[in-house]
Structure 1
């Protein structure tokens, strides 16, 4: 296993700074950021060495990126790749898409350097407290090389598979959270308009057998994954309930966006002939629509 004598961290923003501090608790750390004040603070607080030029990385086996955009990550890698030791590993913790991680791989490969994606699932307070988690993708050997660094960042880690899968998992997770936020805002508006207690609504929706949990933990994890749509609540009944929600919102003059769009899916599924199957059958629509990308 590669001896990790030091780790470089590029990016000392809101998340990058506490990330660097956690790594510094176990390794000598080199840091770079455009903000000179942050560099100075890192030196004072946890003894970080400022990277004055890419040649300073000639003996650095692990580089961690925590940067604001894929464009910035690529610019950094193009600059430092020729100076890193062969078999070094770059850990991309920035929020990016799989294609961005693949682009990083293509920049690094000619120099014998590997990359993994280790997307951070945390707020700043979670990172500081050590309760963040990492969603990881990449070659097993590359992950093994930098495992001590990953452990320094966060104890909770999930390896999703090939390069880019950790990044994809984070983007998907965030998409769900952001879409659910719209649905919850719409639901809260309808509750307020109809005199429903918000506290009791939260209790109802958060019940493991009710609104937010059941579609994921039962209908998706069981019915969709296993392709079993027999019995259960018919799609036609779900479509009827969805229409009732639209009628309620119209009566109370509550604008709907996400819930209105979701209803359209039930109408399409009914027209596709799925009316009597369990309403999880809407997943079949995406099976019909999805055209696999041509491998690069």
Structure 2
């Protein structure tokens, strides 16, 4: 059954996601503060709206894909999105934001007479374009069931993780695993280089042994072994280092707030924050390998 969807935030992720909803037969009204992004989405069949509130006014479902929690909360409350929507509208926030902000957003949506689901994604721009994203959802079972057809139009897998905020919790935990894995894989390749071991030889062993992981077999941080990895495209981002730094910052905040002892997670957050503010600003997160080679800021484990 087709729905009318308001899609707010048509950037690198939101634009392709909205386009895939159109391909699945849904009517999509789109808005973004950047006119060029609205035009690009329009070329893919998304109907341009003059404002976020205008898009939401006739929608069955409102999907947001925004940079941070403050943007989501401001849009919901101060910019009138909740007030513009019809009673009972389902709000699905696909942004990656702080767990506390997600719960606050959920409460605001419910208080305004609507339904809420936090559903951040994993899979990057490639997954958004190919409709192979994984959605991690937090909220009620009924809300998840209602959103499922849309989530599956934009992705390959959707997991109901629990109550409000659980989707965001799953996202930051997953990305902490990914960051630590990428640093570990990168360190292994740098060690292999120092020992005279060929990249392909290490890959051929580790990819079928106990070192196998996504950071190695899909997003390999060195050129050669995985032709589709960003390392073979001068580290043009699939998942940009600043986005990884953002997610790790959210994880670090949660670790400190919960009193959780996670030295590797905190170290990864520190490394990616430094990298994203410097040479990694426009690169894929796998380019962290560059900082680990001789002469890099983390040679011998020493910070810059």
Q: Fold conserved (TM > 0.5)?
A: yes
Once the two structures are TM-superposed, the CA of residue 97 in structure 1 deviates from its matched residue by 2.7
Question: Partner of 2:39 in structure 1?
Answer: 40
Residue of structure 2 equivalent to 1:23: 21
Query: CA–CA distance in 2 between the matches of 1:49 and 1:171?
Result: 32
- Contact 1:120 1:133 (8 Å CA) reproduced: yes
Residue of structure 2 equivalent to 1:65? 64
TM-score by length of 1: 0.66
Does residue 75 (structure 1) correspond to residue 120 (structure 2)? The answer is no
Distance in 1 separating the partners of 2:72 and 2:36: 21
Matches of 2:57 and 2:2 in 1, distance apart?
13
1:3-61 alpha-carbon deviations (Å, 9 max, x no partner): 86410000010011001101122211111101112222323330413143625533312
> Which residue is 1:277 aligned to?
none
Please say if residues 6 and 28 of structure 1, whose CA atoms lie closer than 8 Å, have aligned partners that are also in contact.
Answer: yes
Aligned to 1:110: 111
Which residue of structure 2 lines up, in the alignment, with residue 153 of structure 1?
Answer: 154
Instruction: Give distance in 2, aligned partners of 1:193 and 1:33.
Output: 48
Distance change (3 Å), C-alpha of 1:256 and 1:199:
farther
CA distance in 2, matches of 1:189, 1:47: 45
Residue number in structure 1 paired with 2:169: 168
The yes-or-no answer on 1:255 pairing with 2:300 is yes
Partners of 1:120 and 1:177 lie apart in 2 by: 14
Please list every run of at least 4 consecutive aligned residues from structure 1 whose deviation after the TM superposition is greater than 3 angstroms.
Answer: none
CA distance in 2, matches of 1:183, 1:5: 44
Counterpart of 2:8 in structure 1 is 10
- Residue 137 of structure 1: aligned partner: 138
Q: Distance in 2 between matches of 1:96 and 1:119?
A: 8
Equivalent position SS for 1:46: coil
CA-atom RMSD in angstroms: 2.5
Change (3 A) 1:53 1:65: closer
Contact 1:4–1:62, Cα closer than 8 Å, also in 2:
no
Residue 260 of structure 2: aligned partner: none
Measure, in 1, the Cα distance between the counterparts of 2:3 and 2:212: 46
Instruction: Report how far residue 119 of structure 1 moved.
Output: 1.5
Q: Deviations over 1:213-268 (max 9, x none)?
A: 6xxxxxxxxxxxxxxxxxxxxxxxxxxxxxxxxxxxxxxx951379xxxxxxxxxx
Partners of 2:19 and 2:46 within 8 A in 1? no
- Other-structure match for 2:96: 95
Q: Which runs of 5+ in 2 are unaligned?
A: 214-297
Structure 1 distance, partners of 2:161, 2:97, is 15
Rounded to whole Å, the distance in 1 between the matches of 2:43 and 2:188 is 49
